Amino acid sequence: MPSSHGYAAHDAHSALIPHQFSRREPGRTEITLEVLFCGVCHSDLHMARNEWGNALYPMVPGHEIVGRVIAAGSGVSKFKTGDIAAVGVIIDSCRHCAPCNRGEEHFCVEGATLTYAMPDRVDGSITMGGYANNYVVDERYAHTVPTHLDLAAVAPLLCAGITTWSPLRHWGAGPGKKVGIVGLGGLGHMGLKFSHSLGAHTVQFTTSERKREDALRLGADDVVLSSDDAQMKAQTSSFDFILDCVSAPHQLDDYLPLLKQDGTLCLVGLPPEPPSFAPFNLIGGRKSVSGSMIGGMPETQEMLDYCGEHNIVADVEVIPIQKINEAFERLLKQDVKYRFTIDMSSLK
């Protein structure tokens, strides 16, 4: 059995500390990765502190994993030892329902298995995430990685990247479309890069004037200060699509009037309180409020391939694992541009 070590939360209130555990040998279609980098997603913090009520301890978080294949089962065809592979938010699903057959494993009718803190479908153990030296996964749920990219900055693509890529593609962001990105954080900065790269006229909404320069550098055609009524009003009825990446409480009614007829506002952030809006802001213009989460396996691979072709990665601050608790505190203060990535060689 590959012996594993990483950093784990043992309850909702304590810091993450070093933790030893074991993973199974890779099965016929499974690979073992030596984890090289793991992104720090805001959900890691929510999960470690049991803010969604579904924590299982001890918990090794981490679902933005880039690693090197160090072992492969006899039936593995996509990878060989030494290859770079990536793993995101889900690592298994029923593999036979309609969404799974369509490659939308994240919508699996029986429920997908998450990368950490979920019972594993194969052996019943609790899944342990990527804040660790290794990971075992079926090749169906692992992705090939364009290796010319900075691998530390690839890691956040596996959650922040696909979470923004999928809705932008689904709602057709591209030339001739006007797209708004609300919030410039881990998710927002990826949405901005993708929307710009796909050719949409892209407007960044922010509450902070000091983010203007960064938004322009990351690809915004325009930046709108959402607290400025005149700036907001000037955007009325002009957007095909608005991607709302904000996880703090905010007013959807500020944004719905900015959509064109039949436009969509899509939520990918998770505010703690349910958002509300005035139905009048929807019916006049047949507008939609929608939501989206991560993406299926083919779509995730498509995103990684696109990032390889267009040299897109996340903006990251690389940290050693020993700084993970400090990074969680800084995440709460939005004190990161725009994603922490753990260099897992620091575990040794």
Among 60, 69, 100, 198, binds Zn ion (CB under 5 A): 100
Strands 259-267 and 239-244: parallel
Binding mask 26-55 for Zn ion (x = CB under 5 A): ---------------x-x------------
Site for Zn ion in 152-211 (CB under 5 A): 159
Spatial separation of the C-alpha atoms in residues 345 and 240, rounded to whole Å = 44
Asked if residue 341 binds Zn ion (CB under 5 A), the reply is no
Q: Which is nearer to Zn ion, 90 or 173 (CB)?
A: 90
Asked if residue 321 binds Zn ion (CB under 5 A), the reply is no
Q: How far is the CB of 99 from Zn ion (least distance, A)?
A: 6
Q: How far is the CB of 253 from Zn ion (least distance, A)?
A: 28
Asked if residue 94 binds Zn ion (CB under 5 A), the reply is yes
The values of phi and psi at residue 130, to 5°, are -90, 0
Q: Convert 236-270 to b/e letters by CB count within 10 Å (16 or more is b).
A: eeebbbbbbbbbeebebebbbbbbbeebbbbbbbe
Binding mask 106-135 for Zn ion (x = CB under 5 A): --x---------------------------
Matching residue, tokens 């010319």: 148
Q: How far is the CB of 190 from Zn ion (least distance, A)?
A: 11
User: Which residues make Cβ contacts (< 8 Å) with residue 53, sequence separation at least 6?
Assistant: none
Q: Which is nearer to Zn ion, 108 or 157 (CB)?
A: 108
Q: Which is nearer to Zn ion, 224 or 314 (CB)?
A: 314
Q: How far is the CB of 23 from Zn ion (least distance, A)?
A: 21
Q: How far is the CB of 162 from Zn ion (least distance, A)?
A: 9
Q: Which is nearer to Zn ion, 129 or 257 (CB)?
A: 129
Among 12, 70, 97, 293, binds Zn ion (CB under 5 A): 97
Among 4, 32, 93, 113, binds Zn ion (CB under 5 A): 93
Q: Which is nearer to Zn ion, 93 or 300 (CB)?
A: 93
Matching residue, tokens 């909702």: 12
CA atoms within 13 A on the CB side of 57: 15
Q: How far is the CB of 186 from Zn ion (least distance, A)?
A: 8
Site of interaction with Zn ion (CB under 5 A) = 41, 43, 93-94, 97, 100, 108, 159
